[in-house]
Structure 1
């Protein structure tokens, strides 16, 4: 793949990725995705031209080049969502590179992103979310592990945390305060409320946990005392949903979706929910309005069946 780029262009790509990481706060996963998508585009361009891609070539890129690349990507089975993500990375790089090199990347920026249907979040009903947490806490085999799983689930549902954020809590974060400072994706910080029930759940877990709590050590421990693996939380949720007869969509992340959807249904402000979830864009949070509308339509259809 490196043979598809001239040294100057390879250096430019690394400089752009470094800037995205440092200035825009993009996560490492996002940086890897950008790099993969952009290198794929530049490799296609080199193959298309029969020579390594170089800065001068990018300055004279044409709309037909972009169309040929998108056709190639569709031909190898790339779906609309993935192609839209790749095009976004290409546009971001060209916007930066054009400014640095003094040319207008109009051909790239004018390309329309493929249309695709965004998947709606799939939250649990309120009674189902409460039942999951109760079920996890009632698992009798190892009481401290049951208390741990219930505490994690309570934080996901009660504070809208991502599982990585909950498992990233350290000993120094306890006792949990009323407002918890969370470092989320891209290093972005936000304050989230911690309900009394969540503080009580974490306290109950700590009372039973057989391992010493240290300030810099993980709050949630696995069976051998190391940091809890998120797969174990997923496995616990799989057991709960099997016992409760819930669908496969009842995952740990669904508890975060449930937090947002139930807060919105109770009259929560969309902008506030965005801040609590740590979404960079309001459009991401707006997906929950579609979920709420769909639920209202289901209620309407049930109350007013068609003749």
Structure 2
């Protein structure tokens, strides 16, 4: 058993390295094409140096759209051409995509909107006049759709489906959610409450992916979570301040409002997401029964040929 797990970890690391290399190659090609028409990715504007006056369109078109294309392309090449996994493993199927995206968005609405009204009603926020700039509203909606989709392709579609076949569903969910949280540690105004919230969000989106076998539902949750906070309700999102339709002044307790890290730094969000996570864990209890084998998953996610060969050889050796 230990030998099998170690081999699984080794193949998973090789799989991840290949995915990252392919992503980098595709990204360099896309950046090269953009440079030919005078567009220079990451030359001046990035997620780390924007504010409420920054247009979302340059970042969307020059930085995050190429990143999404690179992740999707690398995941397809890795799954099909190298490890021969099924298309269903990635969750890219368009069947009911709109409905599943809407379901994820609705969950995010339930997580964010009540929290906003709780904080407002508790006099933690002082409302200011609205800031009407519909070009920015639409722009940040598109921006968070693309940015969230890219992160979901990496941490859910690719990572979960790759790890499940080798280490099981529970391990895949834990690693997916943990990596998602770790990726945000370097954000401005980082707090440990924020880390807990992002970790909870990572687990929630991983469970949504496992339950529906669709990238659309977790992208809906992620995009809704980011846009509702930042684009509509004036919270910073993971420490990043962008244009928002609603405007308010923080006059409350930092651990309730989240202060400069945003709603993700709020104990209110921890409570709401904790309840949702408990609900999803209860709904997925059958699928999560065994940490290393899951017959339902194996029907969708056939193990790759090289891994099967290694295990067969190991069994023969031991016998």
Task: State whether TM-score is above 0.5.
Answer: no
- For the pair shown, the structure with the greater C-alpha radius of gyration is 1
Q: Normalising by structure 2, what TM-score?
A: 0.23
Q: Normalising by structure 1, what TM-score?
A: 0.24
